[in-house]
Amino acid sequence: MSFLPSCRDVSRHLSEALDSGRPLGMHVRLHVSLCEACRRVLAQFALIRHGAARAPEAGPSLSPDAKARLRRSLADS
C-alpha cells in the first residue's frame, strides 16, 4: 500500500480534518476504509468531537492537555 499515506499521516489528517471541518482527501478515506487501526482512531476522534460539541461546558470532558496526550498516544501506536 505504498501509494497510500502511512497510519501516522492519516492520524494527523484525521485530526486536522475534524478540527477544521475540511473533508478528508481521497487517499486518506481509502486508507481508513482498508485499515482497522485508523478506523478506530477516526471513531475515537469522532467520539471526542461529538462529546465536546454536545457538552461544551457541562459534564465530564477531556481537557485540552488530555486530548493532546490522547492524540500523541494514538499517533505513536
State which residue, 37 or 62, has the beta carbon closest to Zn ion. Answer: 37
The nearest distance, CB 21 to Zn ion, in angstroms, is: 22
State which residue, 38 or 48, has the beta carbon closest to Zn ion. Answer: 38
Contacts of 16 by beta carbon, 8 Å cutoff, 6+ apart? 22
Per-residue mark of binding to Zn ion, 26-45 (x: CB under 5 A): ---------x-xx-------
In the bound state, the residue with its beta carbon closest to Zn ion is: 35
Contacts of 50 by beta carbon, 8 Å cutoff, 6+ apart? none
Residue pair 61/51 in contact (Cβ under 8 Å)? The answer is yes
Grid cell in block for residue 47? 467520539
The residues of the shown chain that bind Zn ion, judged by CB under 5 A, are 7, 35, 37-38
